[in-house]
Amino acid sequence: MKAPLDNIRVIDLTRVLSGPFCTAMLADMGAEVIKIEHPDGGDDARHFGPFKNNKSLYFALINRNKKSISLDLKQRSAIEKLNELVRCADILVENFRPGVTKRLGVDFETMHEINPRLIYLSISGFGQDGPLAGKPALDTVVQAMSGIMATTGTQDADPTRVGESVADIITGIYGAWALSTALYSRSVNNEGLYLDLAMFDALFTSQVTNLSQLIATNSAPGRIGNRHPASAPFDSFTASDGQVIIAAATKTMFDQLCILMEQPDLCNDTRFLTETSRIQFEPELKSIIEKWTCRHSCADIIRMCEEVGIPVGPIWDIKTAAESENARNRSLLSDISHPVLETMQYVTQPVRFGGYRPTIKPEPELGANNSEILDGLAQDTANLKN
């Protein structure tokens, strides 16, 4: 099957995580992603650990399948080369602080004059306008200000950062979705588009549970650990050899759990008859369930719950998850030949896209494609005119 984004050219002016994650998704789908980096050191993420043979594995995972050219955009000659690339491009993605592209002369209005069909995505912390538009932002700042940190962790602990850079990653996913939608829009209207995507907006609007509680009560939900504010039992429980997650999210599932625990009388206990009452009496309910779970191994609890259709699972670390039979069957990691590291494991595109299977090419060295791309600009321009 032909790559879905074959013949789509993306100019990638992004750095660190949100933008590179977005453009990596496009590259996985066959787009030609040309990463433009400063000649002195390139993307900051090239210098983020962990390292192997002086290569950043962090950078490698989110810059697979891309090309790299080095341009100092403060130099007029570099801007002229960028303009030539834009003439033949479909998409440009940038994540400079608002106002920087205007100063450099690479803003949407300027690029749109060069290529009216260009789709231009700006990623920022808080958007291109508004009171916080110029505020510097990293993932942890956005987590703190979006409300998600205030609901992560236990009630007796401080607000806690989610263990992964979810603001960056969710923004990257939204960006790839928006660009794909814009490509379809352009195929209908034959016009370019400007897309303004803020990390704050992306993370804020993704909090369905927190926002539904806010809208219902006009109050902010607090930290409740692994519990769910609208369902019980829905939590981690101590077994004889570890912990498991049990999510008996309906009355039918709860009744099945009561039968498993050999306490069928709990099915009609007035404290636990409804979702609302089970949430109200959740501490008592958890104590009852853990008296049962602590007598059984994780494996036995999982087996018994699965046999009656109760969602249940072990709590794995990333190493255990990566080595699981399920991850191997889904081919979530692939060993790829690497010019410096001999072989390296790369994450694969998680969507099985019909018959298309993305190939993975290692991340480029800084400026690795200067000759290939910059020397070919004249030919690209001639082809465009023809």
Q: Which residues are catalytic?
A: 228
β pairing state of 312-314 and 242-247:
antiparallel
Contacts of 310 by beta carbon, 8 Å cutoff, 6+ apart: 246, 247, 248, 253, 256, 257, 260
Phi first, then psi: give them for residue 130, nearest 5 degrees: 100, 170
Classify residue 4 by its DSSP letter: T
Amino acid in position 259: I
Residue 7's DSSP bridge partners are none
Which tokens belong to 64?
A: 């697979």
Place of tokens 């050999």: 262
**Distance set, CA 330 to CA 97, 155, 323 (Å):** 38, 37, 11
Contacts of 209 by beta carbon, 8 Å cutoff, 6+ apart: 221, 228, 229, 230
Which tokens belong to 231?
A: 């369902």
Ranges of H-type helices in the chain: 18-28, 57-62, 76-87, 100-104, 108-114, 139-146, 166-189, 199-205, 208-217, 251-260, 275-280, 282-293, 298-307, 318-322, 325-329, 370-374, 377-385
Residue 123's DSSP bridge partners are 197
CA 110, 113, 115, 117 dihedral sign is positive
Q: 171: closest CA among 101, 124, 118, 107?
A: 124
Do 271 and 281 touch, CB atoms closer than 8 A? Answer: yes
- Neighbour-count burial of 97, counting CB atoms closer than 10 A to its CB (0-12 exposed, 13-18 middle, 19+ buried): middle
Phi first, then psi: give them for residue 185, nearest 5 degrees: -60, -40
